[in-house]
A and B are shown apart, each in its own frame.
Chain A
Amino acid sequence: MADKNNQILEEVTGSDYKYGFYTDIEMDQAPPGLTEETIRFISAKKNEPQFMLDFRLRAFQHWQTLEEPKWAHVDYPPIKYQDLIYYSAPRKQPKYDSIDEVDPELLETFEKLGIPLDEQKMLAGVAVDAVMDSVSVGSTFKKTLAEHGVIFCSFSEALQKHPELIKKYMGTVVPHTDNFFAALNSAVFSDGSFAYIPKGVRCPLELSTYFRINAANTGQFERTLIVAEEGSYVSYMEGCTAPIRDENQLHAAIVEIIAHKNAEVKYSTVQNWWPGDKQGKGGVYNFVTKRGICEGENAKISWTQVETGSAITWKYPSLILKGDNTTGEFYSVAVTNNKQQADTGTKMIHLGKNTKSTIISKGISGGKSNNSYRGLVKTTRNAANARNFSQCDSLLLGDQCGAHTFPYLDVGNRSSIVEHEATTSKISEDQLFYCLQRGIDMEGAIGLIVNGYAKEVLSKLPMEFAVEAQKLLSISLEGSVG
């Protein structure tokens, strides 16, 4: 049984990527390589204010002094930063008034992803700012948002229309000196999203953005900035897939969230970038810096992520609990398959009194993949009565994959309570046979068991996202059986 099971698991976990396709849209791009000239080109292309160019140049100068970090539990060939293209944008720049004006090929791409723009308009309460290769192509539901004073637009647009907000908040949570990839992003970021929720406003729609990587050999450097003013609330969703590709694609994004007094931000991601083929060839390198700050008292930020894609994931959505009585949450499901590698987790930095954080991490490894949880919980001297609860579970499919947990706890005062629980389990033959005996085939059984295992996290996702994520989990582990 063991041998046969392994064989089936191998087939099941050796699934081909279902969203691999490539859209041929005319590109407007920078020549390969990274110099001060490249940065000036990007900034000029985007008609940016001077402060933005200065910011980029400072970041670039700093980046040149840094070395790529090597401490993560991942392994990949050196990235040739001078061979990458740092800017590309769909050539047909004008913003569309109606969906008919949008490049039909692009619409087809969305169709394949199962998220046609025109249908999205009808989807209850979802405003979409579709980012395709760095430049926003379409925005919907702007009117409703505008009525509430909510700003939700591409980063470039925000730079033109609301430069004072960008100048005030950009780089305050993730400074350009933060780390190698953050510095790189700060120098060359192409576009992204900006959301601003004014004081006391409960954002009437779930904000969502679809990211896609499209041009061959193009690093994608997104930047997201979310500002929630006092007493406001917003739920922000981000989801993505990418086309099949031979060469590795570098993706180094930055997400910054600022929650003021009594504000709440819920940030959800489903990440499904091309993970490379079964031999581990190709696939996206996803080196992302995500951080939020609960600036004022009683603020709350929660991260929920479902990570199924990318060849390598290096990502630690973190929170700084600065205000008193603030709350931070991190819910994560990370699936690795074939030769994927993920080193992901979170950092919870407790600065304020009575701050609370919860970490629920579920790792699922199949094939020959490696899945690591790395987390830091730190309570400083002034963070009296800080509380943390962490639970890190790993589920192994088969016997050639790896699961690792690296928890760091740094408790700086006597009144904090920090708890860490961890489990590692394997799908048992008894569970599989039980499902088979009820008429559910091996793929279905694994999908069911894995979804059950991840339920605690999936239930934190907004409804429409949860459905998508469940399908994605099954698809990621689906294979050639039946």
Chain B
Amino acid sequence: MLSIKNLTVSIHGKQIIGGLNLEVKEGEVHAIMGPNGSGKSTLASVIAGRDMFDVDAGEITYMDQNIFDMAPETRAREGIFLGFQYPVEIPGVSIANFLRTAINEKRKYLGLEPMTGAEFLKMMEEKKKMVEIHSKLTNRSVNEGFSGGEKKKNEIFQMAMLEPRLAILDETDSGLDIDALKVVANGVNKLRRPDNATIIITHYQRLLDYIVPDFVHVLYDGRIIKSGDKKLALELESKGYDWVKKETKADTIP
């Protein structure tokens, strides 16, 4: 589904990602872990199409298409969803209105009729139940005056509504209390299907108690320096990132 080869990214001449490789297949959940400044959020932004970064080398293909040929909104309509680390406020625009616009844009792109108001409301009710969102949240303006937890839950709710093929969750767990964390994890688990994939970017192993990844990658200094299964996350938690750094100093991880 997603194939990243030798990706090198910089901003203002400073290299952030250097020669990164990653393969994500349908049905898989990947966790990307790493210390601050290792390039995790940059990777998410580049996949989603934020153009403040310079891609110096490498390629990304998504569903067999060169991702760099696609505008950010096209990537979204083709099923890429980014759960933002810092969701932005859009005053005066209700979540319902925002999502209905987004869904109908996507449907238009796919050659489908726009969703009627009734269909949309029904879908919204279903998804709210699924991800355990309070019904009042959707009448409020997008992220305006939301607590940190509400913002993150709102991201998961949007993900449920937009039904992405590839979801990238950028530190969705940071700043959450344990209850909110469970809601987020629960949402991700329920949305998991054989034909979609999820990339979870996280700092801590904590989230992975609730979402079981197929693969765990350690990102350090703009490269994936170690990959493994969920045990790797536990090992990291107890031994710290320095341990991976030392262990893999000489190795090159494909």
Residues of A within 8 A of B (CB): 1, 4, 428-431, 433-442, 444, 448-449, 451-456
Give the CA-CA distance A440 to B71 in the complex, in Å: 11
Which of B48, B52, B84, B141 lies in contact with A452, CB distance below 8 A?
Answer: B141
Give the CA-CA distance A438 to B109 in the complex, in Å: 13
- The answer to whether B105 and A433 have CB atoms under 8 Å apart is no
Give the CA-CA distance A161 to B126 in the complex, in Å: 61
- The answer to whether A452 and B76 have CB atoms under 8 Å apart is no
**B98 neighbours in A (Cβ, 8 Å):** 435, 438, 448
Give the CA-CA distance A452 to B95 in the complex, in Å: 11
For the complex, count residues of B whose C-beta is within 8 A of A.
Answer: 32
| Chain B residue, CB-CB nearest to A452 | B92
Which of B76, B92, B162 lies in contact with A455, CB distance below 8 A?
Answer: B92
Given A436-B72, A437-B81, A449-B93; 5 other pairs, CB 8 A cutoff: A1-B51, A431-B90, A439-B162, A442-B73, A452-B93
Interface of A is mostly: helix
- The answer to whether A439 and B109 have CB atoms under 8 Å apart is yes
- The answer to whether A434 and B91 have CB atoms under 8 Å apart is no
**B36 neighbours in A (Cβ, 8 Å):** none
| Chain A residue, CB-CB nearest to B158 | A438
A428 to chain B, nearest CB (A): 7
Q: A451-B92, A452-B93 are in contact. Are A1 and B76 (CB under 8 A)?
A: no
Residues of B within 8 A of A (CB): 48-52, 71-73, 76-77, 81-82, 84, 86-93, 97-99, 101-102, 105-106, 109, 141, 158, 162
**A433 neighbours in B (Cβ, 8 Å):** 50, 72
| Chain B residue, CB-CB nearest to A428 | B88
- The answer to whether B102 and A440 have CB atoms under 8 Å apart is yes
- The answer to whether B106 and A439 have CB atoms under 8 Å apart is yes
Give the CA-CA distance A440 to B90 in the complex, in Å: 14
**Inter-chain contact total with CB atoms closer than 8 Å:** 77
What are some 13 contacts across the A-B interface (CB < 8 A)? A1-B50, A1-B51, A433-B50, A434-B84, A435-B90, A437-B48, A437-B84, A439-B76, A439-B105, A440-B105, A441-B71, A444-B105, A451-B92
Give the CA-CA distance A476 to B51 in the complex, in Å: 27
- The answer to whether A439 and B92 have CB atoms under 8 Å apart is no
| Chain A residue, CB-CB nearest to B93 | A452
A113 to chain B, nearest CB (A): 24
- The answer to whether B90 and A452 have CB atoms under 8 Å apart is yes
Q: A1-B51, A433-B50, A444-B101 are in contact. Are A438 and B92 (CB under 8 A)?
A: no
B206 to chain A, nearest CB (A): 26
| Chain B residue, CB-CB nearest to A453 | B92
Give the CA-CA distance A54 to B162 in the complex, in Å: 68
- The answer to whether B49 and A436 have CB atoms under 8 Å apart is yes
A364 to chain B, nearest CB (A): 12
Give the CA-CA distance A454 to B49 in the complex, in Å: 29
B42 to chain A, nearest CB (A): 14
Give the CA-CA distance A431 to B92 in the complex, in Å: 13
**A449 neighbours in B (Cβ, 8 Å):** 90, 93
User: Which of B48, B92, B109 has the most chain A CB atoms closer than 10 A to its own CB?
Assistant: B92
- The answer to whether B87 and A434 have CB atoms under 8 Å apart is yes
- The answer to whether A440 and B101 have CB atoms under 8 Å apart is yes
- The answer to whether A437 and B82 have CB atoms under 8 Å apart is yes
Give the CA-CA distance A451 to B99 in the complex, in Å: 15
| Chain B residue, CB-CB nearest to A362 | B92
B238 to chain A, nearest CB (A): 36
